[in-house]
Amino acid sequence: MNNPSDQRIIYSVSRLNRAAKLLLAEHFEVVWVEGEISNLAAPSSGHLYFTLKDADAQVRCALFRPQARYLCFRPENGMHVLARAQVSLYEPRGDYQLVVESLEPIGDGALQRAFEALKKKLATEGLFDQAHKLPIPRLPRCIGIITSPSGAAVRDILSVLKRRFAAIPVLIFPVPVQGGEAKFEIVKAMQTAERQGLCDVLILARGGGSLEDLWAFNEEMVARAVYACGIPIVSGIGHEIDFTIADFVADLRAPTPSAAAEAVSPDGAAWLARLQRLEARLQQRVVAKLSQQRATLNLCEKRLLRQHPAKRIQGQAQRLDEMELRLRRVMLNRMRQQRQRLEHGSAGLRQFNPRRQLDVLHQHLAHLAQRCQAATVSGLAMRQQALARLSHALQTISPLATLSRGYAIAFRQQDHHVLRSYRDIGPGERMETRLGTGIIISTVEETRDA
């Protein structure tokens, strides 16, 4: 019979795997694991599944898509890497695995692969295209140098610039060319040079070294800063066999810092020889021009001797006298014609003198005035006689004359109605009686038939 105190804890498979997963997560927070990639699988989901192994063991790994997007290289089988991961367990199969958060290649081989990956990426974007490269000025006004102020590269560059064309000013932008901060300082120096606008061309340089030593010039941010810079950039990084990403993006790649200095500076001796040739050609042309002008002057002197200005002046004076005489004759003829026309016009004017017509018109006007005055007097007399006759006739038929003979006109005062019968007014009404002189106002006492 079973002992009651013997209690068994029974797990399902899923519960056991879940508990094991939690136990691993609590014990291992984040671990760094170094190993070689094998069994790499890259499904269409974008996740990466592979195995990390060394000489004695191996562990399954999963790198999910959100983290895989930030890889700066392409993982391949056989690649030695360093993984930052969380220890976990894949519950459906009970497989112990690492969930990788980041992945880094290890060694020069890894750097070379990262170099090739970035080179391919930037080439695809067109940063290396020749169409985007700026021309290097033949005679720059100022040369900028971005490099370490204490390295051999800056001494070599300055020596070459002084030998080739010492008159060109040089501006040094000191930066570290190795280490974690180098890329930031290099980008800042290019931006400063562009903002100041003093330099026509920039030299980006450092001495030789390993791939790791030159890695600051393989950084993506440096490459993009070189591409975006508005000043032409000549790269002189390392030795002839050394190539960096900055070399591919630069407007011109020189194999060494000294070669970069030669590329941006004109050959002073060649320029001096050219100036001497130009000076000789100029002297030849000046001498030829002077000879030509001297020959022209001699020809003019000979022509002047053959035809002295005094003779030309005499000829012109004689011609002037002739023209003066012609002008006088023309003016005299013109004046004679005008005088004849004036005399002819005066005779016609005298013949048709308006004074005579004015005298005749004045006499006619006086006669008309007399007739008008006589007609006016006669008309007034006739109208006065007609007015007297009309006045007498009017006086004869005027009602005032009738009234003056003792007659009267009666009106009803209320409406001035002329009374023609006793029936037109009643007792108590007022009436007006108009006499020959004056008006009588009275009140009717009684009305009756006569």
Q: Tens digit of pLDDT for each residue in 303-335?
A: 777 666 666 676 677 788 788 888 888 888 889
Cα angle 231, 235, 240 (rounded to 5 degrees) comes to 165
pLDDT at position 104, please? 83
Query: 226-241, pLDDT tens digit by residue?
Result: 999 999 999 999 888 8
Q: Is it the case that residue 76 has pLDDT exceeding 80?
A: yes
Query: What are the pLDDT digits (tens) for 425-450?
Result: 889 899 988 887 888 889 988 888 76
What are the E-state strand segments in 58-192?
58-63, 80-90, 95-105, 143-147, 170-174
Three-class SS of residue 215?
A: helix
User: Is 406 a residue whose pLDDT tops 90?
Assistant: no
Q: What's the pLDDT score for residue 211? A: 77
- Paired tokens of 77: 């089988």
Contact 91, 17 (CB under 8 A): yes
Q: Are 32 and 22 in contact (CB under 8 A)?
A: no
CA-to-CA dists, residue 316 to 277, 302, 327, 329, angstroms: 54, 22, 16, 20
Where does 13-106 sit in CATH, by number?
Answer: 2.40.50.140
Q: Which pLDDT score is estimated for 311?
A: 67
CB atoms within 10 A of CB 223: 27
Residue 51 CB partners (closer than 8 Å, separation 6+): 37, 38, 39, 58, 59, 60, 61
The pLDDT of residue 1 is above 60: no
Strands (E), 132-179: 143-147, 170-174
Q: What is the torsional sign of CA 83, 85, 88, 90?
A: negative
Distance from chain centroid for Cα 235: 37
CA distance 312 to 304: 11
pLDDT of 120 higher than 80: yes
Average pLDDT over every residue of 47-70 = 89
306 vs 261, more confident? 261
Q: Which residues contact 231 (CB under 8 A, 6 or more apart)?
A: 134, 144, 190, 193, 194, 199, 200, 201, 202
Q: What are phi and psi of 296, to 5 degrees?
A: -65, -40
Give the 3-state secondary structure of residue 430: strand
How far apart CA 111 and CA 224 sit, in angstroms, is 19
Give the C-alpha separation, 118 to 215, whole Å: 12
Q: Is the pLDDT of residue 378 over 60?
A: yes
85 by DSSP, 3-state: which? Answer: strand
Whether the predicted pLDDT of 395 surpasses 70:
yes
Give the CA-trace dihedral at 32, 35, 40, 46, to 10 degrees.
20
Mean pLDDT of 164-179: 91
Q: What is the pLDDT of residue 322?
A: 83
- pLDDT for 63 equals 92
- Span 187-201, mean pLDDT? 94
Contact partners, residue 28, CB within 8 Å, separation at least 6: 86, 87
Contact 264, 201 (CB under 8 A): yes
For the segment 361-376, the average pLDDT, to the nearest whole number, is 87
Would you state the pLDDT for residue 256?
Answer: 92
Band of the pLDDT at 108, cuts 50, 70, 90?
low
Mean pLDDT of 208-235: 90
CA distance to 58, 74, 172, per residue, from 26 (Å): 22, 32, 55
Task: Indicate whether 89 pLDDT > 70.
Answer: yes
SS3 368: helix
**pLDDT of 128 higher than 60:** yes
Find the farthest-apart pair of alpha carbons in the chain and give their distance in angstroms, rounded. Answer: 185
Residue 353 has pLDDT above 60, yes or no: yes
pLDDT of residue 310: 67
213: tokens are 């030593």
Instruction: For residues 329-351, give the mean pLDDT.
Output: 84
Per-residue confidence (pLDDT) for residue 271, from 0 to 100: 78
Q: What pLDDT shows up at residue 366? A: 87
Kindly give, in sequence order, each residue whose CB lies less than 8 Å from that of residue 195, ignoring residues fewer than 6 positions away: none
3-state helix vs strand vs coil in the chain, percent to 5: 50, 20, 30
What is the CA 56 to chain-centroid distance, rounded?
Answer: 72
- Mean pLDDT for 331-349 is 85
Whether 202 shows a pLDDT value over 70: the answer reads yes
Of 3.90.1150.10, 3.40.1550.10, 3.40.190.10, 3.40.50.2300, the CATH number of 128-266 is 3.40.50.2300
Which of the pair, 208 or 33, is modelled with greater confidence? 33
Q: Looking at the predicted structure, is the pLDDT value of residue 141 above 70?
A: yes
Mean pLDDT, the chain, rounded, equals 85
Q: Provide the pLDDT for residue 324.
A: 84
Q: Which of 48-52, 90-94, 342-346, 366-370 has the highest mean pLDDT?
A: 48-52
